[in-house]
Copies of this chain bind each other. A is one copy, B any other.
Amino acid sequence: MDLMDQATAREWLAAAVDEARTGLAEGGIPIGAALYGADGTLLGRGHNRRVQDGDPSTHAETAAFRAAGRQRSYRGTTMVTTLSPCWYCSGLVRQFGISRVIVGEAVTFHGGHDWLAEHGVRIVLLDDPECVAMMSDFIEKNPALWNEDIGE
């Protein structure tokens, strides 16, 4: 567990939660993410757009990564996501050397954050009740859509 200031982690999570809520309001899958620079600057944020754009490649983390544009290095950056990152998004974090991942919750889905920790990525797992409630409710109402999004 990273010793990051919990208040900062929760403040950064709020941007990802806001993205998730936007996605839900658009009729999409409520997962949001934000990428922060080493100095705490917000570089980009986004949400899952499978439904909205008919685009299976836009997960919340890849949307935030894209929104941040080209970066010479991801050293010191933090990916904040409302949900434990799937293998696709975990692979993104590992390949580009993103230093830290703040995970809203890993109760409704357990992705690759343990694997990332094994490979030196700092993980801050918040177990946020709002994130859990939003995904639990969504999965219960939309099981087929959720399974499609994680390839199951």
Chain A residues in the interface with B (C-beta under 8 A): 50, 54-58, 62, 65-66, 68-74, 86-92, 94-97, 112, 148, 150-152
Report the minimum CB–CB distance from A65 to chain B (whole Å): 5
Partner of A91, one of B55, B66, B86, B148: B86
Q: Contact at A95–B54, with CB atoms within 8 Å?
A: no
Copies in the complex: 2
Out of B54, B55, B71, B97, which one reaches A56, CB within 8 Å?
A: B71
Contact partner, A70, options B70, B112, B148, Cβ 8 Å = B148
- For A147, the closest partner residue in chain B by CB is B72
Chain B residues with CB under 8 Å of A68's CB are 56
How many angstroms between the C-alpha atoms of A72 and B90 in the bound complex? 22
B88 touches A92 (CB 8 A): yes
